Chains A and B, each alone.
Chain A
Amino acid sequence: MAFHDQNNNHTNGEVSKKPKLSFSAITDTEIQSEFSHHDPTVARLNNGAFGCCPSSVLAAQRQWQLKSLRQPDHFYFNHLQKGILHSRTIIKDLVNAQHVNEISIVDNASTATAIVLQQASWAFQEGKFNKGDSVVMLHYAYGSVKKAIEAYVTRAGGRVIEVPLTFPVTSEDDIIREFRHVLEKTKSEGSSNKVRLAVIDHVTSMPSMVIPVKELVKICREEGVDQVFVDAAHAVGCTPRVDMQEIGADFYTSNLHKWFFCPPSVAFIYTRKSVNSVDLHHPVVSHEYGNGLAIESSWIGNRDYSAQLVVPTVMEFVNRFEGGIEGIKERNHDCVVEMGEMLVEAWGTHLGTPHHMSASMVMVGLPPSLGIMNECDAMNLRTHLREFFGVEVPIYFRDGGEVGCVSGYARISYQVYNKVDDYYKFRDAINQLVSDGLTCAFLSS
């Protein structure tokens, strides 16, 4: 399975990822202390949404903030750029980019998306892309990405094509086949309609599954797609093989505050050096406009840049764990899958994705008797679980199923602070609801 390969096959920049030998790993007590600011009454099963940040990183962030507040002019002239460059260098090694110029730090994946789509929009406006050329995205692309494509592409005259995906999913082959089919079909419609940009998730949000990006990027190259943008909002710290050379995309973005222990909020966007004809800019234009995306992004007006400056401290944190970030990912995956299986067995349901297509999150079918009939029901159930059972977990409504079948899935996450009890709490909560005969129809009344 994917994770085992990974530990044996690394060939790049390992020094920064692997902890020094003969060290004592962080203890359980220390971990709990690092996350002691989390509400102890809540079974926090939704790391995927807002991530988490350990106390030692928060403390480092505060130091940076105080440094700036102390003497901001001096900080601006003498410390800020150096600190951001340091963070960028670490990220470059982490994701196996070739050059630090390929790494820009931005607030979040939404900002990275705006950057990529803005240049696509200009390409349409300037006639570099023809009206009617298309942008391809996956059916389960993130909601705000779809809106961004509408705002930047459709408006500029581009066409949007969705690759249909099914859920539950059993194999990557289904995704690969559908994707290839869409590209071939578009091509066969006539050479005047080119696919200019493919937007591919590395891990979809809802429902969550790991997408075979490496294979899809290869198909894009075979089919002559101009640009490939991988939206990997969850990927760093969650999925194995976040390797820019291996994946081969033109643009790649991941948040660092979801699974990489950074405070809110910080993300990076990778832009392949060889894509030099593309003019990428941060949408908030400031003094550094025209000096390259990385430099532009390092100053977008007066801001608190402290979240961008703690990446070195985060590396120290993850290296306190056995196996560093790779070890964390592997254990998170094993645990989330184990917990998923425990839950589906307890409820008599099934997982929405196979193990190898789940990273640190897995979709767990909920008992049909709960009667989740629409997205509102899913949200009401989520609220009910939060308010009455102290369980925080996002719920996905799957449309189109048969009556009596599983129509709702919980996306459970596993991060280093989680305990088995968190999942037992969830299991018991659902069991309680089922035995009480509660349905979502009742919740909404």
Chain B
Amino acid sequence: MDNHDDPRNGTVQPDSKKPKLTHPISSHELLHEFSHHQTAVARINNGSFGSCPRSILTAQTTWQLRFLQQPDDFFFNTLRNGILDSRKIIKNLINADDVEEISLIDNATTAAAIVLQQIGHHFSSGKFCRNDTVIIFHCAYQAVKKSIEAYVIPVGGSVIEVELPFPVNSNEEIIAEFKKGIERGKINGGRVRLAIIDHITSMPSVVIPVRELIRVCRENEVDQVFVDGAHALGSMEVDVKEIGADFYVSNLYKWFFSPPSVAFMYCNKNKKLNDVHHPVVAHEYGNGLPAESAWVGMRDYSPQLVVPSIMEFVNRFEGGIEGIMKRNHNMVVKMGVMLKEAWGTNLGSPPEMCASMIMIGLPSKIRVMSDDDALRLRFYLRVYHAIEVPVYYQALGNGERDARDKDGFITGYVRISHQVYNIVDDYNRLKTAIIQLLQDGKICSELPKE
């Protein structure tokens, strides 16, 4: 992957990212770091729940014990500084200007609540009008859609869903659909008040050309742009200044090795977004989102405190986090190509529109004809083959876009991930399991239900 336009290649990195290696982590050490993973499971779903190495879990336990030892002392003298240290590291990683732009929260779902609550307030107060809209992709994460239902719809806002072309061949296809969506929002004199753009969609998983879409938003006077980068940190380069969003969230526990769970939320200070609050109000209410998020009542804040340990961990790898991302990407593409060729199917998107996950078409003969079929197949693979991989059902309907193999239309995809603990055998097992199903003449609806 030597495409210079590839955002993953990045620019010259500041020193904090380049490791001083004496020796890179050995394969033996790596095995040990993930020895708590269930052996014999081909764990190719890092995208859902992430993973956390032993040394980070140990660091977390140390923080937890320090709190339990003398919680008052910890609260007054240690907690805030520890969170600040983590925030500073994140700020550097994502090229934010000011650490005050960085808050640590539980997960991307919490960020959605924060952004949409304040949007809801603008509708209630009359600042936004009844015709105004929020624009999202139709495959936006379910929690985001529900947050809109909870906070925007009841106060008069409406939603525009942009169809994500899938399988997709180029960024231009996505940009074109998005532009159409924006135009729909301007009908009847309405304004698009908020665009929620995934950096990497969840299901089906595709890397979205966020910079270009945000440019379209600015050209069309969209008030606020919220990039849901739930998968981004640790799977692709995140440069918030370059991306240009008003809000950006990414989980740290998916691809950045933190324990469950912690995410960062970036709020562009130049945008002067006031009225952005954590929904759980505590003592720090009104002191800015970073302060509010650093104390939402009594909690275990240890996941927020281990970021320095995470940097130490990733810097044990050749090339640090950059190296990890590059190798994960190369491997997941290689495995994806291997599978599609073995099955005679397709990739859901070209390699340059993937990060550390890729969608591979399932043979049409397996007949994934519904979400239920997808779940059955997933369950079957988990229980009978000890393979953990999410399965996606793609309804037909686009005519030219509908992918085919030699036997019919491709309506099912697996989303494979590659993280440092994965081995080639994980993917060979998936290859074989599907081929076996084909040879047995089984289809999804015949598989046992959970």
Contact = CB atoms under 8 A, between A and B. Distances in A.
Interface string A403-433: 0000000000000000000000000000000
A128 B262 CA distance: 37
A148 B147 contact: no
A435 interface: no
Interface stretch (A38-46, A83-91, A184-192): A38-46
B45 A301 contact: no
Interface in A203-237: none
Nearest to A53: B68
Given A49-B72, A264-B298, A265-B298, A286 B143 contact: yes
A286 B109 contact: yes
Nearest to A110: B297
Contacts of A144: 281-283, 285, 297
Interface in B117-131: 117, 124
B72 A50 contact: yes
Interface string B141-165: 0110011011100110000000000
Given A108-B298, A111-B280, A302-B260, A37 B65 contact: yes
B42 to A, nearest CB: 11
Contacts of B107: 301-303
B70 A392 contact: yes
B298 A147 contact: no
B88 interface: no
Nearest to A52: B68
A251 interface: no
Given A69-B52, A111-B280, A285-B109, A151 B285 contact: yes
Contact of B113 (A44, A143, A283): A283
Interface residues of A, number: 64
Contacts, number: 181
Contacts of B68: 37-38, 52-53, 58
Contact of B108 (A71, A264, A301): A301
A284 B249 CA distance: 15
Contact of B146 (A74, A148, A150, A287): A287
A282 to B, nearest CB: 9
Contact of A148 (B57, B69, B285): B285
Nearest to A58: B68
Interface in A41-70: 42, 44, 46, 49-53, 58, 66, 68-70
B106 A264 contact: no
Residue with the greatest number of chain A CB neighbours at <10 A, chosen from B70, B117, B124, B142: B70
Contacts of A176: none
B70 A42 contact: yes
A388 interface: no
B73 interface: yes
Nearest to A303: B261
Contacts of B280: 107, 110-111, 114, 283
Greatest chain A CB density within 10 A among B37, B48, B72, B113 is at B72
Contacts of A38: 68-70
B5 interface: no
A52 B72 CA distance: 11
Interface string A256-282: 011000011100000000000000010
B260 A265 contact: no
A207 to B, nearest CB: 18
Interface string B272-291: 00000101111101100000
Interface string A377-388: 000000100100
Given A70-B37, A110-B281, A151-B277, A264 B67 contact: yes
Contacts of A290: 146, 149
A289 B260 CA distance: 22
A76 interface: yes
A42 B74 CA distance: 13
B45 A73 contact: yes
A301 B36 contact: no
A51 B297 CA distance: 13
Contacts of A53: 68
Most buried by A among B36, B149, B150, B251: B150
A13 interface: no
Contact of B73 (A113, A286, A392): A392
Contacts of B65: 37
B210 interface: no
A304 B261 contact: yes
A111 B106 CA distance: 14
A442 interface: no
A73 B49 CA distance: 7
Contact of B142 (A74, A147, A287, A304): A287
A300 interface: yes
Given A53-B68, A110-B297, A285-B146, 19 more contacts: A38-B68, A71-B41, A73-B49, A74-B38, A74-B382, A107-B297, A107-B299, A108-B296, A111-B296, A117-B281, A125-B155, A147-B283, A148-B285, A151-B281, A284-B110, A285-B151, A300-B110, A301-B109, A304-B259
5 contacts: A284-B279, A301-B106, A386-B73, A392-B72, A392-B73
Interface of A: 37-39, 42, 44, 46, 49-53, 58, 66, 68-74, 76-77, 107-111, 113-114, 117-118, 122, 125, 143-144, 147-148, 150-152, 255, 257-258, 263-265, 281, 283-287, 289-290, 300-304, 307, 383, 386, 392, 394
